[in-house]
Amino acid sequence: MSSKPPMEIESARYDEFLDLWEQGAFDQQRLGQAFYNHFRLHRLTDQAVLQGLYEIDGEKAGAVIFRVFRIG
């Protein structure tokens, strides 16, 4: 288990993302893929911590998001 503190995303930015997701703004994308692209996670040096987020959808993507990020 990693001892690194979770990365933080402002709750307003996360809510904005969820609103866009609900509106269908990420047509043809999985939840993890949309989240990864929206927050430009390709810029992170440590991609290992994301553990395949780009490839997953639904509840699995949500679980990874909440494990890796603190929404606050």
- Tens of pLDDT along 28-70? 999 999 999 999 999 999 899 898 999 999 999 999 999 999 9
Full domain range(s) for residue 71:
29-72
Extract the tokens encoding 12.
């307003």
Q: Does 16 map to a domain?
A: no
In a domain, 6, yes or no: no
Number of domains, the chain: 1
Instruction: Return d(Cα 29, Cα 46) in angstroms, integer.
Output: 23
Q: Is residue 39 part of a domain?
A: yes
Give CA–CA dist 47/32, Å, rounded: 14
18's tokens? 């969820």
pTM of the model: 0.89
Residues 27/14, Cβ–Cβ less than 8 Å = no
